[in-house]
Amino acid sequence: MGLVALPGGSAVDPALIGAQAIQDFEQELVDQYALAMSAAGLTDRHIGGTRAIVIEFARSLSTPLWEATCADADVFLAQQRRMGLSVSTRAGKAGALAGFYEFVIARYEGTIRRATGVLVEQPIDEFNRQSGVSLGKVRVPPSDEEIDSLFTAWRGSVAQARKYLPAARDYFAASLWRRLGLRINETVMLDIRDWRPDLGEFGKLHVRHGKGSRGRGPKPRLVPAINGANQLIDWWLAEVRPQYGHDWADPDAPLLPSERFDRDLDRCGRVGANALRRPGNPGRRVVAGVVGSDDATRAAALLRLVAVRGRYGHQGAPRAPWPPVAGDDVGLPPRPQ
């Protein structure tokens, strides 16, 4: 019978004698996992959040991290529920713990077994992990008539607003969400240079801070300015954006500025996401994702058609008119009197 080497035996095994040695080794496991996540390209924010979750779980245990069981995870997650945390938050914590223990089992199982005699197990299993069905949130989008009614009334009220510039800015931002399916955080991070009218048939918007996934940071993308968004952006840059100050020609200036002047920058600062979520903004219904998620699906279908046209030319795909968004016009608000 041959000998089988347990994993993790390439280095000297730690002598886990005493409470301080156990705490030091626990800290080493957490730090090594953070280093591995950094090597995988995850963002510092994601790494810091994961470390905080692991440390929170460790403090809830009466034993070292490597002796945690499924029962310990059950108690921890049940306590999170009693604290009133949302389903998605609890699922995120369970996923972070599962990833940590997968790392420990893959790299340190042999070391821990030789030093303590404990066989590390995965405390997050199919029974205590939040299922995908419970995470689902059904959002019924409003009808096209309701959306048209909202934007038609909103467009007519812009010129009579007490503060025209913030009102026009909010309408412009919500129109981008509606026409291109952009998210609110993606919109507020746009700069003037991100509008590229020279690209493609309609021009393209360079979304540099697109929503990322799995903690790997923003995913940039180019979005064709379909649904009349090119005319809307040209209107904003030509008629409204110059009224915010002299930086309208600066490519590094924010596309959506704040009405507050920043003395350090000598120009208006970037509008915050919360300013577009304020109760007085009619586009909050779009911000909430009910309209935005539905229009993002429509925009994705249109973008696929744009890709087909670009690959095969206009003869290879039917040149059907784009679906109107707000009647037959682009939906530009009138100038203030």
* Plot region of 70 (φ>0 → left; ψ -120 to 50 → alpha; else → beta): alpha
Higher pLDDT, 331 or 69: 69
pLDDT bin (cut points 50, 70, 90) of residue 276 is confident
pLDDT bin (cut points 50, 70, 90) of residue 221 is confident
Q: Are strands 267-270 and 257-262 parallel, antiparallel or unpaired?
A: antiparallel
pLDDT of residue 247: 82
Q: Which of 125-134, 211-220, 276-285 has the lowest mean pLDDT?
A: 276-285
Cβ atoms 308, 317 nearer than 8 A:
yes
pLDDT at 318: 39
Among 6-15, 46-55, 137-146, 244-253, the range with the most confident prediction by mean pLDDT is 46-55
* pLDDT, tens digit (0-9, with 9 covering 90-100), for 119-146: 999 999 989 887 765 565 667 777 778 8
The pairing of strands 267-270 and 204-207 is unpaired
Name the band, by pLDDT with cuts 50, 70 and 90, for residue 310: very low
Higher pLDDT among residues 53 and 144, named by residue: 53
Backbone angles phi and psi of 127, in degrees to 5 = -90, -35
| CATH for 144-312 (1.20.1050, 1.10.443, 3.30.70, 2.30.30) | 1.10.443
pLDDT at 251 over 50: yes
**Start-to-end Cα distance in the chain:** 93
Rounded Cα distance, 199 and 205, in Å: 9
35 falls in which pLDDT band (50, 70, 90)?
A: very high
- Contact indicator for 141, 294 with CB cutoff of 8 Å: yes
The pLDDT of residue 275 is above 70 = yes
Cβ(43)–Cβ(216) below 8 Å: yes
pLDDT over 50 (residue 327): no
| DSSP three-state, residue 178 | helix
Residue 305: predicted pLDDT: 45
pLDDT mean across residues, the chain: 79
The stretch 158-171 carries a mean pLDDT of 86
Query: pTM (2 decimals)?
Result: 0.63
Task: Reply yes or no on whether the pLDDT at 218 is more than 80.
Answer: no
pLDDT (mean) for 202-210 = 87
Over residues 71-101, the pLDDT tens digits come to 999 999 999 999 999 888 899 999 999 999 9
